[in-house]
């Protein structure tokens, strides 16, 4: 199983979550929300064969943490994975839209200069502008739209631009999320939880809850869960060869 977008460092006991993931043989991409969290978060996955950490600056923190972009550039050579990055067009974030654009553009430009990165991207209420930036900064790497919730027409645009997608239990619990996932090319889909932010039945999502996403994807695509797991593992293997 694969959790390609979780916030390991934000669990109350990250080490026990990492231990359980290792025991279950999960593949993990631990994203971070600020460059200053990188060292601690990457230490959690260091030496774990199936776990990697991503260097990020979350769009909701763009105004507060844009001063950390220098730190972002300092750490970037240490990793092939970047996230969580992106744009958020929600009402509480719209007021610092210019900071968000400044940060996202800087990150994409740095990734491009570094030869490209695997990027896990937030695009809540901002799918159109996220795709515009990705197009402008072609060569920044492989974009993976995490928990995509935009329009069907922007989803088609994302597919044409070469985007990948990660889908989780919370997204697939809604009719709309399932309709979007049904349109995604399965050879560019990975599973995720977005735990502990995302919730399942009123508790924090944990990385092994990706099983719920695999099962939901299987029923959407008319496959069994083992087939979906085989496809997502093959996707993960191929993704690693792209950057
Ligand atoms: Mn997240």
pLDDT of residue 85: 98
Encoding tokens for residue 178?
């399932």
Tell me the pTM.
Answer: 0.97
CA–CA dist 111, 117 (Å, integer)? 6
From ligand 1's centre to the CA of 90, what distance in Å?
Answer: 15
pLDDT given at position 57: 98
pLDDT at 60: 97
Please tell me the distance from the alpha carbon of residue 176 to that of residue 20, in angstroms, as a whole number.
Answer: 32
Residue at token pair 């997204």: 171
- CA distances 215 to 49, 82, 167, 174, 199, Å, are 25, 27, 12, 14, 17
How far apart CA 65 and CA 228 sit, in angstroms, is 38
Average pLDDT across each block of 10 residues of the chain; the chain has 243 residues. List them in order: 97 97 98 97 96 98 97 98 98 94 98 98 98 98 98 98 97 97 98 96 96 97 97 97 93
- Cα(210) to centroid of ligand 1, in Å? 14
Close Cβ partners of 24 (under 8 Å, ≥ 6 residues apart): 1, 208
Tokens standing for 96? Answer: 């610092």
Rounded distance between C-alpha atoms, residue 161 and residue 25, angstroms? 32
User: Which one-letter DSSP state was computed for residue 53?
Assistant: E
- Identify the pLDDT of residue 59: 98
**Residue 56 DSSP symbol:** -
pLDDT score for 195: 97
Distance 5 CA to ligand 1 centre (A): 6
Measured in angstroms, how far is the CA atom of residue 113 from the centroid of ligand 1?
25
């Amino acid at each position: 199983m694969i959790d390609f977008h979780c916030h390991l460092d934000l669990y109350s006991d990250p080490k026990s979550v990492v231990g359980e993931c290792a025991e279950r043989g999960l593949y993990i991409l631990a994203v971070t929300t600020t460059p200053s969290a990188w060292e601690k978060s990457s230490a959690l996955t260091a030496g774990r064969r199936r776990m990697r950490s991503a260097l990020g600056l979350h769009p909701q923190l763009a105004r507060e943490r844009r001063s950390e972009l220098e730190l972002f550039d300092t750490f970037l050579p240490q990793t092939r994975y970047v996230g969580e990055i992106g744009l958020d067009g929600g009402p509480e974030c719209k007021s610092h839209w210019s900071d968000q654009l400044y940060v996202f553009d800087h990150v994409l430009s740095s990734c491009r200069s570094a030869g490209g990165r695997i990027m896990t991207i937030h695009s809540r209420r901002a799918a159109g502008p996220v795709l515009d930036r990705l197009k402008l900064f072609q060569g920044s790497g492989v974009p993976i739209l995490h928990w995509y919730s935009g329009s069907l027409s922007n989803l088609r645009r994302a597919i044409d631009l070469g985007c990948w997608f990660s889908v989780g239990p919370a997204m697939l619990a809604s009719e709309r999320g399932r309709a979007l996932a049904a349109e995604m090319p399965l050879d560019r889909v990975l599973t995720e939880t977005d735990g502990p932010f995302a919730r399942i039945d009123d508790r924090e999502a944990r990385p092994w809850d990706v099983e719920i996403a695999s099962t939901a994807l299987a029923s959407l695509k008319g496959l069994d869960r083992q087939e979906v797991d085989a496809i997502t593992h093959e996707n993960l293997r191929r993704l690693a060869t792209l950057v």
